[in-house]
Amino acid sequence: MTTLKVGIADYEEMKARTMRIAKGEEKPAPDDPKVWFTSTESFAQILSSGNRELLRVIHDQAPTSLEELSQITGRTKPSLSRTLKTMATYGIVRMEPGQGRKLVPKVLHDRVTLELPLLHPSEAKGGHA
């Protein structure tokens, strides 16, 4: 499996960066984060201990449907569906077609690295160490 590199940036920072990239003023580096969260709180919520356990169950037991995953975990299908849909938007899991209309959850990464600036970017540029 692979490592997913994520970053934290508020909405305005992400919007400004996206505009600079669109205008050709900035080119994303190959080692830039591929996924961005707007806060450390949202990052922690998505990768809570319960959700990491869910990822381990999916990886280790390879359920063939949400119904099977629900039986394994004791979580309701609607709850699992919401959680997995959110994780999919961040590129953590993928829902693949299964038999009939069933969806099969697949974990895409076995590790996450976080790039977290300790200072606001504008403060860090001219600041002192």
E-state strands within the chain: 2-8, 35-37, 93-97, 103-107, 109-115
Ranges of each domain in the chain: 2-126
Q: How much is the pLDDT for 120?
A: 64
- Interatomic CA distance for residues 73 and 67, integer angstroms: 10
The token duo for 53 is 């356990």
Residue pLDDT, tens place only, 104-116 = 999 999 999 998 8
Selection from 56, 41, 50, 38 nearest residue 83 by Cα: 50
Mean pLDDT of 33-41: 91
CB atoms within 10 A of CB 22: 9
Q: How much is the pLDDT for 46?
A: 95
Collapse the DSSP code of 61 into the 3-class scheme (helix H, G, I; strand E, B; otherwise coil) and give the result.
helix
CATH 3.40.50.300 fits 2-126, yes or no: no
Q: How much is the pLDDT for 1?
A: 77
